[in-house]
Amino acid sequence: MSDLPTAAQITELASLLAPGLIISTIMNRAASGAPPNLKDSLIAYGLYSTGYFAAVSPLFHIESSVHLAGWLWRFLLYFLIPVLIGIALAYAYQHKILYKTAELAHLRLAHHLSAAWDYAFEELPSSTYLLVTLQDGSRIAGRWAVGSFAASGKDERDLLIAEMWKPGFEGEAWTQLTPPRAVLVCGKDIKSIELFGA
For CATH 2.30.30.100, list the domain ranges present in the chain.
Answer: 116-196
Is CATH 3.40.47.10 correct for 116-196?
no
Per-residue confidence (pLDDT) for residue 2, from 0 to 100 = 56
Over the chain (198 residues), the average pLDDT of each successive run of 10 is 70 82 83 60 84 86 72 88 91 84 83 76 87 93 91 80 86 86 92 85
CA atoms of 2 and 168, how far apart (whole Å): 74
**Is the bond preceding 179 in cis, omega lying within 30 degrees of 0?**
yes
The C-alpha angle with vertex 161 and arms to 158 and 166, in degrees rounded to 5, equals 130
